[in-house]
Amino acid sequence: MNRLARESSPYLQQHAHQPVDWYPWGEEALQRARQEDKPILLSIGYSACHWCHAMAHECFEDEAVAALMNRLFINIKVDREERPDLDQIYQTAHQMLLRQPGGWPLTMFLTPQALPFFGGTFFPREPRHGLPAFAELLQSAAQAYREKPAAIAEQNQAILEAFASSLPAAVRGTPVFNADPLAQAVAELDANFDRRRGGFGGAPKFPRPLDLDFLLRRHAATGDPNAREMALVTLERMAEGGIHDHLGGGFFRYSTDTYWTIPHFEKMLSDNGLLLGLYADAWALSHKPVFQWAASGIVAWLEAEMQLPEGGFAAALDADSEGEEGRFYLWTPAEIHALLAPEEWTVAAAYWGLEGDANFEGREWHLRQVLALEQVAEQRNLSLNEARARLAAARQRLLRARNERRRPGRDDKLLTGWNALAIRGLARAARALGRPEWLALAYRAMDGIRRELWRNERLLASWKDGKPGRRAFLDDYAFLLLALLELLQAGWRDEDYRFATALADGLLQHFEDPVDGGFFFTAHDDEPLIHRPKPLEDHATPSGNGAAAFALGRFALLSGEPRYAAAARRTLALFLPELRRQPSAYPGLLNVLGDELSPPALAVLQGPGAALPAWVDELGRLPAPWLLAVAPTGKAARPETLLKPASSHVNAWVCCGVTCLPPIDGLEPLLGMLAKPLKVH
């Protein structure tokens, strides 16, 4: 066993038995590299990554390759989910050096000062697909380090300058905000939209939940039917497709084809947390059963497979089992036929298309909807309810059988930011679909984070096997503040409001650039690295700056604290040139711009405890992302924005911008008024 055996990360532990002399990232490894003047081989991946496993088996478990690595390099292994700061920096460096995006596993060669001089992603043991053998690459990189120090030093300086120039320039003068970037972003997404199959662009096709959230918000704000269509069609096609687990619920990472049929089979907590809230919003907007089914499936998966004793959720499920990607999820028609009753088979075979050609490598089936259940019922001369019952019975039989198989590995570390996305999704779905048991799951997870990961007024980024991880990053604070805003609307708890205030203050104290605006990804007192980014672009998860600005702007509305609103506006102003240049790359910050141009409404409910929950429930079902509705019921001190006079019946106080309306004492008039954005200033 090597040094990684002492680490808590499941990904690092996967490499603990290899003959490579691995180090975790830290001063011990960096100091040895400097003392011995040896280059560093940095390998970044994560536990659910199929190609990370492939490179580990081909290269890192090979005695000859490992011996070469140990002789020529100081070898460092990093879990990108525990150290997203390192992953951001060296993925960007890969882009700079190779003029193409990186990925995982990320393989970078560094000087002892941690500056990159060459890199790539997956490399095989033997040359194939235009890739060199890893052993040849190792020798070439080591030779370059020994023989070309001047060229490497010059390249290092250019990379540092490129990193420095990537930070946005400070704003001069008063920024002018208008709706042009919002309209341009919708147009850019429309130009790339697949109208028949949903989604954007070709294969591989990603869910892109941040784009879908932006489109639903634009529809809510403007009534744009095209924005609505792009979001709802994509969500429906995804639910029908193989990117959706039709038996156990939840969504896989992405689709390898344009039809959403064959996914990359890892399941990530972050993806599913974001999609849960979107499917809840889609249900609130359209009341299509497919959206309710998809949301319910995500929660079922969270409950059955992802809960942790601490109260939160595990990070991911592996793509592989029994040494093959997707093995856990694949079927032959004969297997399904043998498990199902004849009347179940007639419905299942038509619904999933099991009597056609196999869709996975020509030999097996990965389940996806081929015919709508209404069509199946008509073909089989059944009522829709009877067809639905038979399909449900078939699903249960297949799920029970699948659960007997060897399961994919689970990365059971608790990641604060990803749990925050799941909590937010659970709270939103609980409100939209009227499911209090889902809200209880969200509370349990939030209470676990507050108990285990809030230490000495600082947030921690992870938790594994009773061991807290390092200090949290920008994303952790911002995502958790967003989750608390959703929880406070679902059901007021004083401790949630106090926690939200502490997180908002922490964002300003530890991450904000008070001079130029915006937020750094790492805290001011964190480990110094070769670059300190201010991330803006949304990827699989929201960007830290977009999430922080949106959360602070909304929390300013709730708390009445102008510092939060000012920080959000400074962030928007700092990145405004980028927003104008390519708006669709930054949907998170576009939502901040939307709030700046059309301020969200705050509805404060007050009244007797017996009647108040019905009002809260009804407002929660509204498809109104521009609304923040709370019913403060605790005894703690509250800001002036939430102090309303006591009454013998429920009243709602609604404010938007600088205008507050007279109190409303009828639920129906309130719902009617809040069905559309308020046009007051």
Distance from CA of residue 52 to its chain's centroid? Answer: 20
Residue type, 240: E
pLDDT of residue 634: 83
pLDDT category at 226 given cuts 50, 70, 90 is very high
pLDDT of residue 608: 87
pLDDT of residue 129: 84
Separation CA 506–CA 496 (nearest Å):
15
pLDDT of residue 171: 85
Separation CA 173–CA 405 (nearest Å):
63
Token representation of residue 377: 């019922």
Write the pLDDT tens digit of every residue in 357-399.
Answer: 999 998 999 999 999 999 999 999 999 999 999 999 999 999 9
Instruction: Count CA atoms within 13 Å of residue 625 on its CB side.
Output: 25
Give kind and range of the element (H or E) at residue 406. Answer: none
Separation CA 186–CA 313 (nearest Å):
34
Give kind and range of the element (H or E) at residue 246. Answer: none
Write the pLDDT tens digit of every residue in 277-290.
Answer: 999 999 999 999 99
pLDDT of residue 489: 98
pLDDT at 203 over 60: yes
Residues 288, 623: contact at Cβ < 8 Å? no
Model's pTM, two decimal places? 0.97
Write the pLDDT tens digit of every residue in 534-582.
Answer: 999 999 999 999 999 999 999 999 999 999 999 999 999 999 999 999 9
Q: What is the mean pLDDT of residues 153-162?
A: 97
pLDDT at 681 over 60: no
Q: What is the mean pLDDT of the chain?
A: 96
Residues 21, 30: contact at Cβ < 8 Å? no
Write the pLDDT tens digit of every residue in 603-622.
Answer: 999 998 888 999 999 999 99
Write the pLDDT tens digit of every residue in 64-123.
Answer: 999 999 999 999 999 999 999 999 999 999 999 999 999 999 999 999 999 999 999 999
- Residue count of the chain, please give it: 681
pLDDT of residue 680: 62
Which DSSP string do the residues of 469-529 spell out, in sequence order? -SB--HHHHHHHHHHHHHHHHHS--HHHHHHHHHHHHHHHHHTB-TTT-SB-SS-TTSPP-
How large a percentage of the chain has pLDDT more than 70?
100
pLDDT of residue 395: 98
Write the pLDDT tens digit of every residue in 313-341.
Answer: 999 999 999 989 999 999 998 999 999 99
Token representation of residue 609: 């405890």
Write the pLDDT tens digit of every residue in 177-201.
Answer: 999 999 999 999 999 999 999 999 9
Token representation of residue 613: 């929950």
For 337-362, give the secondary structure using H, E and C.
HHHCCHHHHHHHHHHHCCCCCCCECC
Torsion angle defined by CA atoms of residues 96, 160, 103 and 13, in that order, rounded to the nearest 10 degrees: 160
Taking every pair of C-alpha atoms in the chain, what is the biggest distance, in angstroms?
Answer: 83
Separation CA 413–CA 300 (nearest Å):
20
Token representation of residue 161: 């300058």
| Domains of the chain from N-terminus onward | 3-166 (3.40.30.10), 180-321+411-597 (1.50.10.10), 327-407 (1.10.10), 601-673 (no CATH)
Write the pLDDT tens digit of every residue in 475-517.
Answer: 999 999 999 999 999 999 999 999 999 999 999 999 999 999 9
